[in-house]
Structure 1
Amino acid sequence: MTDQGNNNQNISCNPFAALFSSLADAKQFASDQKPQQKSTEPPLEDSGESQSESENSVSDSVDDNDDSVAEISRSFRSRQELCEQLNVNHMIQRIFLITLDNSDPSLRGGNGIPPRCVYLEEMAADLDGQDWLDMDNIEQALFNRLLLLEPGNHLIYMTSCSAVNLSADRDAGEKCAIPYLYACYQRAKEEVTKVPEKLLSFAVRCKNLTVSNTRTVLLTPEIYISQNVYEQLLDLLLEGFSGARPEEVVEFVEEVIAGLFSDQEVRTFEEVIVPVFDIFHGRVKDLDLCQPLLYSYLDVLLYFSHHKDIAKVLVDHIQPKDPANGLQYQKSLLGAVLNISCLLKTPGVVEGHGYFLNPSRSSAQETRVQEANIHQVNRLIQTLCSVLSRSTLLS
Structure 2
Amino acid sequence: MANRLSNNPFVALFGSVEAAERYISLRESGLLRLLEYRPRAERKVVANENRGVSNDRRLQVETERPVFNEENSPRDMTKGIETCITDCSSRITEELKKTGIARLTEEIFGFTVNKVVDEGKNLIFLEDLASEIAPKNWIDMEVLEQALFQRLLLEEPSTYLLNKTVNRLERSDNHVTEKEVISYLFECYKRLCSPLIPKDVKEEEIEEVKNLILRNAATALRQPALFEAQELHLQIINLFRDTSAPPEDFINFFTGISEQFVRDESEPINVLLEAFAPTLDFIQNDVAQSNIITFNRCYLHILQTFSVSPELGAVLLLHSTPKETSHGRLYADTLIGSILSLSCLPKTPNGPYEFFQDPLQSPDIEGANIWPALSFICENMHKIFYNLLKSSTQLKHETLSWLANCLHSNSARGKLWTAHNLGLGAPACVSDGFMLNLGCVLLHLCQPICSNLNDLKVNRIDPTYCAVKVKDDAEAHYRGVHMKGLDSETCLIPIAEDEQRPTAEKYSFVTECFFMAHRALDLGFRVALERLMQLYREVTQIQRVFVEVQEQGSFQSEVVQTIRQRLEREMTRCFSIRAALLEPHSLSLMVQFHVATAVWLVQVATDATNETERISFVPAKLREITFPLPEQVPSTLSCVPEFLIENTVGFLSFLRRFNPRTLEEQGFDFLSPILTEVLVFMGSQQRMRNPHLRARLAECLESLLPHHKENPAFSTSSYGGFFRERLFKEHPHRNQIVRSLLEVFVGIEMTGQSVAFEQKFNYRRPMYVVMDYLWQIEEHKDCFRQLAAEAESNMEAVSPPIFLRFINLLMNDAVFLLDEALSNMAQLRQMQAARDSGEWRQLPTHEQEQNEALFQNTGMIARFFWVSFIILTRNLRFHVQTGVRMTSDD
TM range (shorter): 0.5 to 0.7
**How much has 1:250 moved relative to structure 2?**
0.5
**For 2:124, what is the secondary structure of its paired residue?**
strand
Change (3 A) 1:247 1:367: same
Q: Deviation digits for residues 285-311 of structure 1, max 9, x if unmatched?
A: 2222223x6332123334444543333
The equivalences for 1:270-285 within 5 A come to 270-285=273-288
Partner of residue 636, structure 2: none
Q: Deviation digits for residues 297-342 of structure 1, max 9, x if unmatched?
A: 1233344445433333333333333445444333222332233222
**How much has 1:213 moved relative to structure 2?**
1.8
Partner of residue 372, structure 1: 372
**How much has 1:224 moved relative to structure 2?**
2.3
The equivalences for 1:167-182 within 5 A come to 168-182=172-186
2:96 to 65, 83, 92: 83
TM-score by length of 1: 0.65
**How much has 1:122 moved relative to structure 2?**
1.5
Partner of residue 757, structure 2: none
1:102 maps to 2:115: yes
Counterpart contact for 1:231–1:276, Cα < 8 Å: yes
1:391 maps to 2:386: no
Partner of residue 779, structure 2: none
Change (3 A) 1:318 1:207: closer
Determine the C-alpha separation between the residues in 1 that align with 2:305 and 2:84: 61
2:337 to 335, 338, 346: 335
Determine the C-alpha separation between the residues in 1 that align with 2:99 and 2:380: 54
Q: Which moved more, 1:244-253 or 1:69-78?
A: 69-78
Change (3 A) 1:266 1:152: farther
Partner of residue 301, structure 1: 303
Partner of residue 147, structure 1: 153
Q: Which amino acid aligns with 1:174?
A: E
Determine the C-alpha separation between the residues in 2 that align with 1:384 and 1:76: 53
State which structure, 1 or 2, has the greater radius of gyration over its C-alpha atoms: 1
Partner of residue 156, structure 1: 162
Counterpart contact for 2:303–2:384, Cα < 8 Å: no
Determine the C-alpha separation between the residues in 1 that align with 2:333 and 2:218: 31
Determine the C-alpha separation between the residues in 2 that align with 1:382 and 1:373: 14
Partner of residue 53, structure 1: none
Partner of residue 52, structure 1: none
**For 2:321, what is the secondary structure of its paired residue?**
coil
Change (3 A) 1:99 1:266: farther
Q: Which amino acid aligns with 2:134?
A: D
Determine the C-alpha separation between the residues in 2 that align with 1:374 and 1:218: 34
1:248 maps to 2:253: no
Q: Deviation digits for residues 213-235 of structure 1, max 9, x if unmatched?
A: 22222222222231233332343
The equivalences for 1:202-351 within 5 A come to 202-236=205-239, 238-239=240-241, 242-243=243-244, 245-264=246-265, 268-291=271-294, 294-305=296-307, 307-343=309-345
**How much has 1:254 moved relative to structure 2?**
1.1
Change (3 A) 1:301 1:201: closer
Q: Which amino acid aligns with 1:314?
A: L
Determine the C-alpha separation between the residues in 2 that align with 1:304 and 1:184: 20
Number of positions where the alignment pairs a residue of Structure 1 with one of Structure 2: 321
Q: Which amino acid aligns with 1:372?
A: P
**For 1:190, what is the secondary structure of its paired residue?**
coil
Q: Which amino acid aligns with 1:59?
A: E
Q: Which amino acid aligns with 2:312?
A: I
Q: CA RMSD for the aligned pairs?
A: 4.3
Q: Deviation digits for residues 226-277 of structure 1, max 9, x if unmatched?
A: 12333323433x347x456212210221122112111115972332233332
2:138 to 132, 139, 142: 132
**How much has 1:380 moved relative to structure 2?**
7.2
Counterpart contact for 2:273–2:319, Cα < 8 Å: no
Change (3 A) 1:247 1:265: same
Determine the C-alpha separation between the residues in 2 that align with 1:287 and 1:140: 44
Determine the C-alpha separation between the residues in 1 that align with 2:320 and 2:347: 23
Counterpart contact for 2:324–2:330, Cα < 8 Å: yes
Counterpart contact for 1:151–1:175, Cα < 8 Å: yes
Q: Deviation digits for residues 333-370 of structure 1, max 9, x if unmatched?
A: 233223322246799978xx577999999xx9x98455
Change (3 A) 1:296 1:359: farther
Determine the C-alpha separation between the residues in 2 that align with 1:381 and 1:266: 28
The equivalences for 1:14-25 within 5 A come to none
Q: Which moved more, 1:220-229 or 1:185-194?
A: 185-194
Q: Where in structure 1 do 4 or more consecutive aligned residues deviate above 6 Å?
A: 60-63, 68-76, 344-350, 354-361
Q: Which amino acid aligns with 1:171?
A: H
Determine the C-alpha separation between the residues in 2 that align with 1:348 and 1:328: 16
Q: Which amino acid aligns with 1:145?
A: R
Counterpart contact for 2:255–2:309, Cα < 8 Å: no
Q: Which moved more, 1:252-261 or 1:120-129?
A: 120-129
**For 2:135, what is the secondary structure of its paired residue?**
coil
TM-score by length of 2: 0.32
Counterpart contact for 2:292–2:374, Cα < 8 Å: yes
Higher relative contact order (CA 8 A, sep 6+): 1
**For 1:195, what is the secondary structure of its paired residue?**
coil
Q: Deviation digits for residues 132-190 of structure 1, max 9, x if unmatched?
A: 111111010011111111212222239xx995475743111111111211211122223
Segments of 5+ residues of structure 2 without an aligned counterpart are 1-67, 390-395, 403-472, 474-890
Change (3 A) 1:194 1:148: closer
Counterpart contact for 2:258–2:312, Cα < 8 Å: no
Change (3 A) 1:334 1:204: closer
Determine the C-alpha separation between the residues in 1 that align with 2:329 and 2:256: 37
Q: Deviation digits for residues 107-131 of structure 1, max 9, x if unmatched?
A: xxx7xxxx22211111112223332
Determine the C-alpha separation between the residues in 1 that align with 2:226 and 2:266: 16
Determine the C-alpha separation between the residues in 1 that align with 2:382 and 2:226: 39
Counterpart contact for 1:298–1:383, Cα < 8 Å: no
Partner of residue 743, structure 2: none
**How much has 1:79 moved relative to structure 2?**
4.7
Determine the C-alpha separation between the residues in 2 that align with 1:190 and 1:300: 22
Q: Which amino acid aligns with 1:260?
A: F
Segments of 5+ residues of structure 1 without an aligned counterpart are 1-56
